[in-house]
Amino acid sequence: MIEKRDFYIGGRWVAPVQAKDHPVIDPSTEETCAIISLGTAADADHAVAAAKAAFPAWAATPPAERKAVVERILAEYERRKDELAAAISMEMGAPIDMSRDSQAPCLPWHLTNFLTAFDHIEWVRPLGPHAPNDRIALEPIGVVGLITPWNWPMNQIALKVIPALLAGCTCVLKPSEESPLNAMIFAEFCHDAGVPPGVFNLVNGDGMGVGARLSEHPDVEMISFTGSTRAGRAISKAAAETLKRVTLELGGKGANLIFADADANAVKRGVLHLMNNSGQSCNAPSRMLVERSYYDQAVEIAAEVAKGVKVAPASEHGRHIGPVVNKRQWEQIQAHIQKGIDEGARLVAGGLGLPEGMNKGFFVRPTVFADVTPGMTIEHEEIFGPVLSIIPFEDEEEAVRIANDTPYGLTNYVQTQDGARRNRLALRLKSGMVEMNGKSRGAGSPFGGVKASGRAREGGHWGIEEFLEVKAISGWDNALAAE
């Protein structure tokens, strides 16, 4: 069993001021795989004080030097990437091959994209030819609190810590207590890469303790949070007292619009996308909207694909999905499946209980409901599990109406060979992202949503700019600058 009882504050591992032991559960076995300490507000205060003391020097560090430090983090990842992947797999249940191929590599992917964007930032630039003595300066916002989730843990750490460091901010990271081990390995990366003391700090804790304190702390200038919409609202309220900047990346209930002229793999692709990571992705296409003339065929394909999805322990190699993260999540998913049955949706794959042959672990049967109608619980609530709802539509207008009739607005998907239709839908769907015909967003494209999905924009130059203040300057001495 792993024991991680210290926090990384001020460039060294320190004992908590006041803490309680917290078991980390392997969701494949339901057994404790690690013991960590959960900190309190006092530990958060300690970390914020270290970040505040380090901020002036780090903010004044030339951008090229900050870039060099971040590049050394990448070198540490390359040296220990298998260890990182193993930790993620054990603590949150991602199959080991997926963890090695998708979960852990989120760090180098985002880091290299941020470095590319960083090279194009103009820290002081002219306003325009109409105002030759005006300048726009970009400056780091200050100490930032970063609160990350368990489902794609290294993805969110990379999307927050790396741009904060590049921008010149100092930070306090509170990872999810469900998956803290990868974050502690990342802290070791930062230490070994020579990140100056106090620039990066890590405190484990829960939302009510460390998370709430960071949100209300007067010396924290910004909170960047990824998690549930409910928690995002609470953080926004707590942060309002100190007027700090708040960026939120929250839940989703993505619609996947499949038209009769979609390519032959569209339905299969949509089912597998939803099932990936056991359905525990905020951008999962959990509502499959299918044109009526293709509906029956699509339901048949979706059911067969779901029945072919293997479920197995995270430690097992191969193509399969693992467990969901914990018992509470498993029970909530079971309740949603029961709601779908009770409210009259047609179960065509999966269903209640553990998969066949399993008697422990938080495993969910890959589940597909057909004949789902707008307003059903499984249609409008985020389930965060491998449960797909299929809904028929008559025409483009109805498809848009159903897709947009949700409090969420993270990612929508479109499958059609009609280019004009794709372009229309891309602009009409109310979401921060639209992906069409299986094409993923390009490197450096921003990740984020609208409405109850939050309004953060993470990745690329947008992700760095979220940690910067804009200063307007007039009366700039151009002659002196030229010298």
In contact, 225 and 247? CB cutoff 8 Å: yes
Between the alpha carbon of residue 195 and those of residues 204, 223, 292, the distances in Å are 19, 21, 57
Task: Give the pLDDT confidence of 80-130 residue by residue, as tens digits.
Answer: 999 999 999 999 999 999 999 999 999 999 999 999 999 999 999 999 999
Of the pLDDT bands very low, low, confident and very high (cuts 50, 70, 90), residue 483 is: very low
Task: Give the pLDDT confidence of 131-184 residue by residue, as tens digits.
Answer: 999 999 999 999 999 999 999 999 999 999 999 999 999 999 999 999 999 999
At residue 1, the pLDDT reads 85
Nearest to 446 by CA among 159, 137, 180, 211: 159
Between the alpha carbon of residue 144 and those of residues 126, 170, 174, 225, 362, the distances in Å are 28, 6, 11, 11, 35
> What is the distance between the terminal CA atoms of the chain, rounded to a whole angstrom?
62
CA distance 228 to 318: 30
C-alpha triplet 473, 476, 481: angle, nearest 5°: 130
CA distance 154 to 147: 12
Helix (H) or strand (E) holding 138: strand 135-140
In contact, 41 and 211? CB cutoff 8 Å: no
Q: Could you confirm whether 171 is annotated as catalytic? A: no
Task: Give the pLDDT confidence of 1-22 residue by residue, as tens digits.
Answer: 899 999 999 999 999 998 899 9
Q: What is the DSSP string of 139-164?
A: EE--EEEEE--SSSHHHHHHHHHHHH
Q: Could you confirm whether 122 is annotated as catalytic? A: no
At residue 482, the pLDDT reads 52
Compute and round to an integer the Cα radius of gyration of the chain: 23
Of the pLDDT bands very low, low, confident and very high (cuts 50, 70, 90), residue 463 is: very high
Of the pLDDT bands very low, low, confident and very high (cuts 50, 70, 90), residue 479 is: confident
**Given a cut of 80, is residue 432 above it in pLDDT?**
yes
CA distance 264 to 398: 23
**Given a cut of 80, is residue 220 above it in pLDDT?**
yes
Neighbours of 463 (CB within 10 A): 29
**Given a cut of 80, is residue 464 above it in pLDDT?**
yes
Of residues 91, 221, 249, 458, which has the active-site annotation?
Answer: 249
In contact, 196 and 177? CB cutoff 8 Å: no
Of residues 177, 221, 282, 458, which has the active-site annotation?
Answer: 282
Phi then psi for residue 53, to 5 deg, are -65, -30
At residue 314, the pLDDT reads 98
AA letter at 393: F
Between the alpha carbon of residue 275 and those of residues 106, 214, 224, 291, 297, the distances in Å are 19, 34, 27, 22, 20
At residue 481, the pLDDT reads 59
Helix (H) or strand (E) holding 431: none
At residue 19, the pLDDT reads 81
Report, as an integer, the average pLDDT of 427-434: 98
